[in-house]
Amino acid sequence: MAQISPSILACDFARLGEDVKDVCERGIDYLHIDIMDGAFVPNISFGPSVMKSLNKVATVPYDVHLMIEKPDRYIEEFVTDNTEFITVHYEACDDLKATLDHIHSCGVKAGVSIKPGTAPEVLDPYLADIDLILVMSVEPGFGGQKFMDSCLPKIRYFATAGQTQVAGLQQGDTPCNYLIEVDGGVGSANAHLVKEAGVDIIVAGSAVFKAADRSAEIASIKE
Ligand code: DX5
Ligand code: ZN
């Protein structure tokens, strides 16, 4: 069993409010908000004003995925009453610890994402400061891409690292307490792979919004 965070990147933007309202009534846990700057990734999505306008219809918390260079410039823009996680890319930060502290100082949980080419061990020094690890299973930038199964050993790595760290805690250590999320190319046909590997939250864009039966697709991804 996993939680689900549908990516609104796959919505029909001409009817964004209706699409968001619709999936919020079908048993989802979060809304995944993909922010792209045309620099860190070769695509531009939308900005904070679009996200904020959804506060009128969204009934689940936001899981904000910042695919932008130097994300510290924009953290405050994405803090709303609906924002639960703000996730930055390891590859986009000059001082990751400072960025995590910045996100926490805004009263929201801090996530870190790694691209398919980034080794999971790079996050070892930061694990106790991270609330959410977002493992990319496609190159960030576009929805509707093919799932890369190279994400599976990384999900297993983080699932094991969390357990090992908890088992080996010394007095005074800060325990790890992060959730593991996967993003890109996941739907009901392959969700079992990421769940077996130990994922907590599954992002699904095309699979949910383009499904003939969204409720069935959501239930099948989660179960
Ligand atoms: C890709 C985005 C993903 C994407 C997922 O850069 O971060 O969240 O929208 O879309 P699907 O599920 O269609 O691969
Ligand atoms: Zn995303």
Distance between CA 14 and CA 109 in Å, rounded?
Answer: 30
Task: Check pocket membership of 200 for ligand 1, CB cut-off 6 A.
Answer: no
Question: For residue range 47-103, what is the model confidence (pLDDT) as tens digits?
Answer: 999 999 999 999 999 999 999 999 999 999 999 999 999 999 999 999 999 999 999
pLDDT, greater one: 204 or 164 = 204
Confidence at residue 200, expressed as pLDDT on a 0 to 100 scale: 98
Q: For a substitution probing ligand 1, which of 8, 9, 28, 151 has the most ligand atoms within 8 Å of its CB?
A: 9
Amino acid at 59: T
* Catalytic (active site) residue 34: yes
Q: Within 13 Å of residue 170, how many CA atoms lie on the same side as its CB?
A: 0
Confidence at residue 35, expressed as pLDDT on a 0 to 100 scale: 98
Q: Mean pLDDT for the chain?
A: 96
Is 2 in contact with 191 (CB distance < 8 Å)? yes
* Catalytic (active site) residue 213: no
Confidence at residue 13, expressed as pLDDT on a 0 to 100 scale: 97
Confidence at residue 170, expressed as pLDDT on a 0 to 100 scale: 72
CA 160 to centroid of ligand 1, rounded, Å = 25
Q: What is the pTM of this model?
A: 0.96
Task: Check pocket membership of 162 for ligand 1, CB cut-off 6 A.
Answer: no
**CATH classification (class only), 3-222:** alpha beta
Question: For residue range 142-191, what is the model confidence (pLDDT) as tens digits?
Answer: 999 999 999 999 999 999 987 776 677 777 676 789 999 999 999 999 99
Task: Check pocket membership of 103 for ligand 1, CB cut-off 6 A.
Answer: no
Every domain of the chain and the residues it spans: 3-222
Q: Counting atoms of ligand 1 from 1, which one is nearest the CA of 136?
A: 7
Q: Which of 180, 174, 199 is nearest to 97 (CA)?
A: 174
Confidence at residue 166, expressed as pLDDT on a 0 to 100 scale: 65
Percent of the chain at pLDDT > 70 equals 97
Distance between CA 89 and CA 113 in Å, rounded?
Answer: 5
Is 29 in contact with 201 (CB distance < 8 Å)? yes
Question: For residue range 110-136, what is the model confidence (pLDDT) as tens digits?
Answer: 999 999 999 999 999 999 999 999 999
CA 170 to centroid of ligand 2, rounded, Å = 35
Distance between CA 152 and CA 160 in Å, rounded?
Answer: 12
- Which residues fall within 8 angstroms of residue 149, CB to CB, at 6 or more apart? 137, 193
Q: Counting atoms of ligand 1 from 1, which one is nearest the CA of 185?
A: 14
Q: Which helix (H) or strand (E) holds 179?
A: strand 179-183
Is 80 in contact with 51 (CB distance < 8 Å)? yes
